[in-house]
Amino acid sequence: MSLLQLLFALLLVLGNAFFVGAEFALVSVRRSQIEHLDTERAGKVLHGLENLPQMMAAAQFGITVCSLTLGAVAEPTVARLLEPLLHALHVPEALIHPLGYVVALAAVVFLHLVVGEMLPKNLALAAPERTALWLGPSLVAFARLCRPVTRVLGACSHAVLRAFTVEPKDEVETVFTSEQLNRLVGDAGQAGLLAPAEQERLEDALGLGTRPVRDVLIPGTALVTVPPSVTPAQVEALTVRTGYSRFPVRAPGGGAFLGFLHVKDVLDLEDPDGAVPQQVWRPMATLRADLPLDDTLTVLRRAAAHLAQVADASGRVLGLVAPADGASPAGPGPSCPS
């Protein structure tokens, strides 16, 4: 009976090693390492990567079951096997059971840590692709088998977290803030991993979103504008000459911007020599000059606006900005290209 119990304990250690190795392999492996492999096992590993929270829950469930069962089975079995040896060594009767238990516990813990934890973890970290292909499909099958149990356990853990006003999350957030990215770029530059020019370019790009929109606006004097009386024929001629498709409509004498024209809106007008009707003019949003570029792009995209005028605190229009201009660290061009 003791031999069977020892074999069962060994199987539990190997089972623990399987769950630990599969868990670390799925966490460590990259999708790009698996996607190019056109095999059934690779497909199952990809399924596991797409459902990583469920895989982690199944692995943790398996590790817990194996560890608790190992403690219940292995320690008393090893302790009983040691009792004849301790008797032969003339250990006092009162110390045989405690000493056997301590030695058995130490042996089981050592075997559990080395074979059941550290060895599979190091193997998975050293060769994540191979380990994932070996162990991943079996973990996927086990996760499907114990899905009802892991769902109940997950719901219970979420309920406990909510009781402490903590919002449960099943996935690790891997989003970096701009400050963290700036530190990463700075550290990479100091370590010599980035050339000075590359570091400067990255720092400029990361700082772009906090710059005010006034830094990238197109001044009114640099724009190709049209008067309210412009005709479709004149708009078409301007498009051919400049290569631009959007033209701000400006009041005579360099006055306010009244809207803008898109060349595609005037192509089908019946009278090519008559003034373009105001109904064809597209509205132009107004932005504060100190609005950060991140917020500027959000406003323009939400409003599906091609152009917006930028005004200072007094309401004086300083110029125009287009989404493409705000997205470029080099700043805008002299007019409004398509």
Structure confidence at residue 337 (pLDDT): 41
Residue type, 222: A
Could you tell me where the beta strands, DSSP code E, fall in 145-301? 218-219, 246-250, 257-262, 285-288
**Whole-number Å distance between alpha carbons of 106 and 126:** 28
**Whole-number Å distance between alpha carbons of 183 and 53:** 30
Token code pair at residue 2: 């003791």
**Whole-number Å distance between alpha carbons of 86 and 163:** 52
Is 285:305 a contact under the CB 8 Å cutoff?
yes
**Whole-number Å distance between alpha carbons of 261 and 240:** 15
User: In this model, does residue 336 exceed pLDDT 50?
Assistant: no
CA angle in degrees (0–180, nearest 5) for 91-95-101: 110
Structure confidence at residue 333 (pLDDT): 38
Is 290:301 a contact under the CB 8 Å cutoff?
no
User: Using a CB cutoff of 8 Å and minimum separation of 24, what contacts does 261-264 make?
Assistant: 261/226, 261/230, 261/235, 262/306, 263/235, 263/236, 263/239
**Whole-number Å distance between alpha carbons of 334 and 219:** 8
pLDDT, tens digit (0-9, with 9 covering 90-100), for 152-205: 998 998 899 889 888 877 665 556 666 777 788 888 888 888 888 888 888 777
Classified as helix, coil or strand, 327 is: coil
Nearby residues of 257 by Cβ (< 8 Å), 6 or more positions away? 225, 248, 249, 250, 251, 284, 309, 317, 320
Is pTM beyond 0.85? Reply is no
- Give 3-state DSSP helix, strand, coil % of the chain, rounded to 5: 65, 10, 25
User: In this model, does residue 241 exceed pLDDT 80?
Assistant: yes
**Whole-number Å distance between alpha carbons of 135 and 26:** 9
Structure confidence at residue 88 (pLDDT): 80
Residue type, 221: T
Q: Where are the domains of the chain?
A: 2-163, 213-326
Structure confidence at residue 152 (pLDDT): 92
Bridging pattern class, strands 308-311 and 285-288: parallel
**Whole-number Å distance between alpha carbons of 138 and 144:** 10
CA nearest to 282, candidates 326, 203, 336: 336
Structure confidence at residue 243 (pLDDT): 86
CA nearest to 26, candidates 57, 68, 5: 57
pLDDT, tens digit (0-9, with 9 covering 90-100), for 245-277: 888 888 887 667 888 898 888 888 888 888 999
**Whole-number Å distance between alpha carbons of 116 and 109:** 10
User: In this model, does residue 209 exceed pLDDT 60?
Assistant: yes
User: In this model, does residue 233 exceed pLDDT 80?
Assistant: yes
Token code pair at residue 274: 């008559």
Q: Which fold has domain 213-326?
A: CBS-domain (3.10.580)
pLDDT, tens digit (0-9, with 9 covering 90-100), for 278-319: 888 988 888 888 888 878 888 888 877 778 888 888 878 888
Task: Tell me what percent of the residues of the chain surpass a pLDDT of 90.
Answer: 28
User: In this model, does residue 116 exceed pLDDT 70?
Assistant: yes
Which of 127-141, 189-203, 225-239 is predicted with the least confidence, judged by mean pLDDT? Answer: 189-203
Q: Mean pLDDT of all residues in the chain?
A: 83
Q: How confident is the model at residue 85 (pLDDT cuts 50, 70, 90)?
A: confident
Structure confidence at residue 283 (pLDDT): 86
Token code pair at residue 46: 């990809």
Structure confidence at residue 84 (pLDDT): 80
